[in-house]
Amino acid sequence: MKQMKQIPKIEKYMTPMPHTIGSKIPMDKAIDLMRTHRIRHLPVQEEGKLVGVLTDRDIKLASSFTQEGSVLQVDDIMTPDPYTITPQASLDVVVAEMAEHRYGCAIVVQENGKVVGIFTAVDGLRVLNEIIHQNYRNV
């Protein structure tokens, strides 16, 4: 009989210490940061507290409605109150929640609210790839 493995915690698969951005930063600086680091999600902080997440989708949507020359800040276009979890959250619970609500990411925060990681849909695909290679083989 095959022994069941314990489902891992999200801290095993999260991207630790993600890039973050301040809420009052101009949108063009956020775009530059995202391009430079090839990321699609930026946790947004105000005075060290998580207040939102800025996604490439938020930027594309805002860009389609803004007039030439207008200056938007991160807090004008971010998604407030992002999905947050602790590092001890179970992987299965997180991926189920992300799938059900179509979240592109989960921000990993400690009890004190400090951002310590991010788990994105891309991270989820990496987990799936690992599971496939551990449990199946090419015929």
Write down the pLDDT at residue 21.
96
Write down the pLDDT at residue 13.
96
Q: For residues 106 and 44, what is the distance between their CA atoms, to the nearest angstrom?
A: 13
Write down the pLDDT at residue 139.
57
Q: For residues 106 and 119, what is the distance between their CA atoms, to the nearest angstrom?
A: 5
In tens, the pLDDT along 70-128 reads 788 999 999 999 999 999 999 999 999 999 999 999 999 998 889 999 999 999 999 99
Residues whose CB falls within 8 Å of the CB of residue 78, separated by 6 or more in sequence, listed in order: 23, 44, 51, 52, 53, 54, 58
> What domains are there in the chain, each with its CATH number?
10-135 (3.10.580.10)
Q: Is 1's pLDDT higher than 70?
A: no
The pLDDT confidence band at residue 46, using thresholds 50, 70 and 90, is very high
In tens, the pLDDT along 54-65 reads 999 999 988 887
Share of the chain above pLDDT 90, in %: 76
